[in-house]
Amino acid sequence: MSDVLGVMESWSAEVACVRDESGRLSTIPIADIVAGKPVPPRPSVRHRVSAEEAELRANSSWPALETEALGRWLLRAAGGYSSRANSVLAVGDPGVGFAEAVAVVRHFYESRDLPSWAQVVVGSDVHREFEVAGWQYARPGEGDTSFQVASVAQVARATAREMPVDAPPVQLSPTVTAEWIATDDRAMSHGQTARDVLDGPEQVCFAVAPGAGSVVAAGRATLADDWVGISNVWVAPELRGRRLSVVVVRAMVGWAAERGASTAYLQVRGDNAAAVASYARLGFLPHHTYRYLMPS
């Protein structure tokens, strides 16, 4: 006996036709079939990456101004600008006992006059240990953050379909500009520290879609190896719902594709239903969720 794994394209009284992943079509007499069963599709290569590896890749999007390794954990500080750059990335083994690791974390942040925050993958062993130790949500009332991935090619095709007819041009800059930072009140309030974090990655671009006298949409993309991170997507409040976010995402993905990117990722709050739905239309699927914790 032999078997074939593929997509069942047709079934008649005489034969069944199955196309395998190489594209070859097998025509099988019904009388010769002994057994068959449905097989779910293989998970995406991108989804076979562990949450720990995905988070370490994403860390390059927001390089803290100061970092210190604690086993597999990463202590990060950047003057308070961005949660990611001012929390310990607590994934994997810290290399010491949990109580000792927590003491190191608290000393690191207290000595820098920063709150002790931990970024944890929801449902992980580390997450459970922090909760047993009494740590709680650092952002009460907010949903967890969904880490989402997609293929660059898929996003490129989807954004082409979703582009508005009157799409404005997009300007790309390798450094943060005054026009871009004016769309981000939090960055404005942190001045040069924010600029240093935003400009930190080796490969980064800032997208701005100008309108009549002002910016109508903006975004930021970073590239490390073949993974592009999409962040800071912003649309002027009075123009939301016109798919301007698609315009800047398409421009940034194009920038990344020219430099060899094959995987795109972003982070979006799970309780932001509109954004989740919008990114789903572009091909982004949930990989894992994370949250920030702090001592009670």
Displacement of CA 227 from its chain's centroid (Å): 10
The 10 Å Cβ neighbour count of residue 258 is 8
The whole-number pLDDT of residue 23 equals: 75
By C-alpha distance, which of 108, 246, 11 is closest to 100? 108
Cβ–Cβ < 8 Å for 181, 194 = yes
Spatial distance between the Cα atoms of 178 and 175, rounded to a whole number of angstroms? 10
Q: What does 1-57 look like in DSSP terms, one character per residue?
A: -----SEEEEE-SSEEEEE-TTSPEEEEEGGG-------PPPPPGGGGS-HHHHHHH
Going through 144-185 in order, the beta strands assigned E by DSSP cover 145-151, 171-173
Q: Which residues pair with 234 in a beta bridge?
A: 218
pLDDT of residue 44: 60
What pLDDT is attached to residue 101? 98
For residue 7, the one-letter residue type is V
- pLDDT of 174 > 80? The answer is yes
Above 80 in pLDDT, residue 96? Answer: yes
Separation CA 240–CA 236 (nearest Å): 6
Q: Which domains does the chain have, with CATH numbers?
A: 1-42 (no CATH), 50-137 (no CATH), 145-287 (3.40.630.30)
Please determine, for residue 39, whether its predicted confidence score (pLDDT) is greater than 90.
no
d(CA 65, CA 9): 55
pLDDT band at 213 (very low <50, low <70, confident <90, very high): confident
For residues 119 and 84, the answer to whether their CB atoms sit within 8 Å is yes
* pLDDT tier for residue 84 given thresholds of 50, 70 and 90: very high
User: Is the pLDDT assigned to residue 239 strictly greater than 70?
Assistant: yes
Q: How confident is the model at residue 42 (pLDDT cuts 50, 70, 90)?
A: low
- pTM summary value: 0.83
Q: Share the mean pLDDT of the chain.
A: 93
Which tokens belong to 135? 């740590």
Helix, strand, coil in percent for the chain, rounding step 5: 30, 30, 40
pLDDT in tens, 113-142: 999 999 999 999 999 999 999 999 999 989
Q: What angle do CA 145, 188, 147 make, to 5 degrees?
A: 15
